[in-house]
Structure 1
């Protein structure tokens, strides 16, 4: 009897415990469902609130996510696999999009027709058969891309311009590097300029002795030159992709000249189509010499037997100063322009653009004096009064350690007030106009605080 009571009592306890478990589980399930409902409600509200800001038209049961894109570009269907019958289409601007219906042509040589003459070029168009849409979009939306495809007239970190004139920014380019544009544009206040110069001084002063000597500045000049080269290579690849619309890593003359003329206001599609069909292309008369010049430079770097440039060859076309072989082409161009008597060398009179028998020593003009000094002290290595091809090439070679050392000595000369052959931070700040192009007018007031 006692045993039965104990058993009944234990059974009632177990039953009660079991009921408690069931109630707990049910309550937990209800809480979870409520949380999920609340989460869905919150997500929906957040989605509805953000959608106008991010420009999403969200219809997941119909067409997937469609992105609002800039005018002139139709959005690609994101659920292409669900709509195989629909082809992705890009309605891109005429000056960028490859032609839709270009055909391979054997009609004849391409032509550029000037107002007076017809210039026959030896290359037929090699039209892309397929469009690399990802490549085209990537080029279109690259905001850092410089749209000019012709080789630049100004060559950073080289002492001469393409026309033989002195590069007036050379000293600042190899001292300030990328910071030069910010100094030039006035982006820095006086105290910021001082801080930037202090940063540069610290970077150049490798042995941390508080002085910049010739060896340290020579290394710095070469470092800044290589930075300019790297930037030029990056820009070259972007420009190459702009022209290489089919992404085949080749650029033909017709692709290049069509893009070039589109930058001058002509319709790229029309130019490309006319060249493809063998028709003449009329161009403004003032572009005749420029196109002939570009064509000559193109042929110089184009490999014999081929009708296109690779990305490295296009780099030589854009920046001949970056390799030994193409540097010779730049030297030849400058020598051709300056050598008025066709003697295959340059005299000091030719270098300062004066008459052959003119006495340049009596001219007081500052520009002439600067050119005269440059010619006699730096370029004319053997001091025979003439500059030949080898001397001009050595002078223009931006990675020549000899010329970098010469520039280091000039940089020291700008600010070496105590003539000890070295620069201190104080000397640079006191003579900042020679290094940055602007004078730190408030420097004298704060000089005692700095030192």
Structure 2
């Protein structure tokens, strides 16, 4: 997975089998944290991250077969073609479905008493229960568990809309995927500004933007190429008024973008990449013939792909 670039940390530590997760605004992109334009990005945008990973375990023949079945689902008007609107809707739904599945998985791990919701006590015990006293004040690379706990408390207050000290599935969804919920957007903005605005002038300049993800070990260290790419993205995409810093609206556009814009952009990109006859729509032959643009493939374990996934 590509290093998730520049955002706030909301780490949830859950037993060894579940691992440690970072919830970020994924470099300002709500479809994938992979590099835009890469095949991994396209696959995750088209299927959702979890199903994209399952597809990667399929042999090419099965990937093509399943993709043909998906084409029928996308072609809502059954005219034999998929247009931009149909593909945009599919991508938006794929992301919404992925987020739902992801939150359900987290609920299963956090809901210790299996009552269908997560209390703050359950969340705290699962997330922080294994920490020792010395761990709380240990700080490494500007990270500390105490700071993380304070962020979690603030997010919990906003996500827990009925203030019953417990998160339902919907509230847990907002807690884990805040950039997708209107009520969480101000908090996401405030967290980002607090963490990155080192000189506290109310803006994020390019060095603050970069220092969040890259700090050289010594003065003579050359910046990696990916850092230069981040600088260019700051200038070309983030800093819309070209004043060398991000103001409130530019920060909000970055960390809480409109997901529909990304779905439309990705739909247009996928059609441009696979529309062999350049008529603006995709046939099943064009989609399946360019299957590696839409989905991955590799091994033979594909049987569970559609089990329990009614959306497919």
TM normalised by structure 2 equals 0.62
Instruction: Tell me the distance in 2 between the aligned counterparts of 1:351 and 1:175.
Output: 29
Is 1:251 matched up with 2:108? no
Instruction: Identify the residue that residue 401 of structure 1 maps to in structure 2.
Output: 260
Partner of 2:294: 435
Matched residues in 2 for 1:215 and 1:405: separation?
8
- Is the Cα–Cα contact under 8 Å of residues 221 and 408 in structure 1 kept in the other structure? yes
Q: Contact 2:84–2:264 (CA<8 Å) still a contact in 1?
A: yes
Find the counterpart in structure 1 of residue 186 from structure 2. 328
Q: Deviations over 1:370-417 (max 9, x none)?
A: 77358635x566777754443443455576323321222233343345
Q: Unpaired runs of 5+ in structure 1?
A: 1-144, 267-280, 356-362, 440-451
User: Is 1:225–1:399's contact at 8 Å kept on the other side of the alignment?
Assistant: no
Contact 2:100–2:173 (CA under 8 A) maintained in structure 1: no
Structure 1 pair 407/365, CA: closer, same or farther in 2 (3 Å)? same
Q: How does 1:180-219 map to 2 (within 5 A)?
A: 180-184=52-56, 186=57, 188-219=58-89
| 1:380–1:387 Cα contact (<8 Å) kept | yes
What pairs with 1:180-329 in structure 2 (closer than 5 Å)?
180-184=52-56, 186=57, 188-242=58-112, 245=113, 251-252=119-120, 255-263=122-130, 281-283=133-135, 286=138, 289-303=143-157, 308-311=165-168, 313-329=171-187
1:176 to 47, 57, 61: 47
Give me the whole-angstrom Cα distance separating, in 2, the residues matched to 1:328 and 1:170: 27
**Distance in 1 of aligned mates of 2:97 and 2:190:** 26
Number of aligned residue pairs: 261
Give yes or no for contact 2:136–2:146 (8 Å, CA) kept in 1: no
Confirm or deny: 8 A CA contact 1:222 1:399 kept in the other structure: no
Deviation at 1:222, TM superposition (A): 1.3
- The separation in 2 between residues aligned to 1:396 and 1:221, in whole angstroms, is 20
Deviation at 1:205, TM superposition (A): 2.1
Structure 2 residue runs of 5 or longer lacking an equivalent are 1-14, 216-222, 299-312
How does 1:35-46 map onto structure 2 within 5 Å?
Answer: none
Aligned pairs (5 A) from 1:18-417:
148=18, 152-154=21-23, 159-160=26-27, 166-168=33-35, 169-177=40-48, 178-184=50-56, 186=57, 188-242=58-112, 245=113, 251-252=119-120, 255-263=122-130, 281-283=133-135, 286=138, 289-303=143-157, 308-311=165-168, 313-339=171-197, 342-346=200-204, 365=225, 368-369=228-229, 372=232, 376=236, 387-397=246-256, 400-416=259-275
Distance in 1, Cα, partners of 2:63 & 2:116? 46
CA deviation digits over 1:307-359, x for unaligned, max 9? 9343354443333233112133233334444445545444566656689xxxx
Q: Report if aligned partners of 1:147, 1:239 keep a CA contact under 8 Å in 2.
A: no
Change over 3 Å in CA distance of 1:351–1:146 after alignment to 2: same
Whether the 8 Å CA contact 1:346–1:386 is kept in 2: the answer is yes
Separation in 2 of the partners of 1:388 and 1:320? 21
